[in-house]
Amino acid sequence: MIQLDEKTYLYLLFIIPMMIVLFVLLQIWKKRTQKKFADLSLLKRLTPERSKFKATVKLILILLGIASLTLALANPKIGTKLETVKREGVDIVFAVDVSKSMLAEDIAPNRLEKAKRLVSEIINQLASDRIGIIAYAGQAFPQLPITTDYGAAKMFLQNMNTDMLSSQGTAIDQAIELASTYYDDEEQTNRVLFIISDGEDHSEGNTANAVEEATNEGIRVFTIGVGKAKGAPIPLKRNGIVESLKKDSKGEVVITKLNETVLQEIANEGNGEYINGENTEEAVAIIKEQLNQMDKKEFEAKQFAEYKDQFQWFLAAGLLFLFLDIFVLDRKTKWLKKLNLFNEQ
């Protein structure tokens, strides 16, 4: 397991492509200037000891030095000891709607981004609970199995988009059925499912059966609504620019609305609660309170208990590369000239 203490220093790596561009531009300028001064054969006679490739070698050494020193500043650490620890918490699965209706912008920046922010803020409030993530539209897809790795959960969450599932529509029943398979501990009684959606449901009455089966397995189903009742059109974008609005078979612009009734019914049947997600802070506070009221179940989890700094290796490598750069001269080296490694003779 590798982690970085100071990830912000990685932005310094952008210096590398900038230096490469400047080096290329400098070489082009040099060649043009030299052509004005004299032709190529005359220049070779005037500067017989000048190496064509030493400048590139020096640049590579400098870039390697910068890269190594940047990684040293980020202070990479490696987990050296894996321990099994006992934790108490609740098993939570987030089912996030990724259908096209979630692109509606009645909540800024759009419903899907709002849903992802809600889930991320909920995760920030958790301490030792296990979490899993499901994406669903016309079908449900497992995004992340039950885990205590909140960092991985946020990474998978941010990568979710409306193009990840080819089957469109909104099948909430499939999301609930898939979530039921996430809880692998038969003795685990504290099972929670959060459905984050605008309430559109095309499962043709199967959702009620799915909720009933879930509650029979001890799963409490909560719903979080994103969107507004007045609705909004669905923008179809390309490269961030709206090209058109989604239309139905009659050519009319589709207006998608938040269906709170459906979400309330699911929550009531699932022994949970419906929460309006328009105000992120209030929604997260309600959810935190609900989770705190639940009994915590003890379970075992493996985690790295000890991490050792590895910055010294990158620091040494960076200094070595920069030190070597000092001894690489622009002119040809005698012993390298004899080897003729770069075919300069």
Are 173 and 132 contacting, i.e. CB atoms less than 8 angstroms apart? no
Percent of the chain with pLDDT over 90: 46
- The reply to whether 252 and 279 lie within a common domain is yes
Is 345 a domain residue?
no
Q: Mean pLDDT score of the chain, rounded to an integer?
A: 84
Cross-strand bridge partners of residue 306: 81
- The reply to whether 297 and 332 lie within a common domain is no
pLDDT of residue 305: 56
Number of domains forming the structure of the chain: 2
Neighbours of 6 (CB within 10 A): 11
Average pLDDT over residues 7-28: 90
Lowest mean pLDDT among 117-121, 182-186, 225-229, 238-242: 182-186
Is 43 a domain residue?
yes
pLDDT digits (tens, 9 = 90+) for 211-233: 999 999 889 999 999 999 999 99
- Residue 335 banded pLDDT, cuts 50, 70, 90: very low
- The reply to whether 68 and 150 lie within a common domain is no
- The reply to whether 90 and 71 lie within a common domain is no
- The reply to whether 149 and 64 lie within a common domain is no
- Residue 240 banded pLDDT, cuts 50, 70, 90: confident
- The reply to whether 101 and 144 lie within a common domain is yes
pLDDT of residue 251: 86
d(C-alpha 208, C-alpha 262), whole Å:
10
- The reply to whether 229 and 297 lie within a common domain is yes
Is 156 a domain residue?
yes
- The reply to whether 147 and 61 lie within a common domain is no
- Residue 185 banded pLDDT, cuts 50, 70, 90: low
Is 277 a domain residue?
yes
- The reply to whether 65 and 92 lie within a common domain is no
Average pLDDT over residues 279-288: 94
Query: Distances in Å between the alpha carbon of 49 and those of 22, 53, 331?
Result: 25, 12, 5
CATH number of the domain where residue 274 is located: 3.40.50.410
pLDDT digits (tens, 9 = 90+) for 29-59: 877 876 776 666 656 665 555 666 678 888 8
Q: Taking the mean position of all CA atoms in its chain, how far away is CA 145?
A: 16
Q: SS3 for 78?
A: strand
| pLDDT above 50: residue 248 | yes
- The reply to whether 119 and 169 lie within a common domain is yes
Cβ neighbourhood burial of 132 (10 Å; 0-12, 13-18, 19+): buried
- The reply to whether 92 and 120 lie within a common domain is yes
pLDDT of residue 338: 53
Q: Taking the mean position of all CA atoms in its chain, how far away is CA 113?
A: 13
Lowest mean pLDDT among 78-82, 176-180, 185-189: 185-189
Is 205 a domain residue?
yes
Domain that includes residue 189, residue range: 84-301
d(C-alpha 339, C-alpha 345), whole Å:
10
- The reply to whether 143 and 14 lie within a common domain is no
Lowest mean pLDDT among 98-107, 129-138, 333-342: 333-342
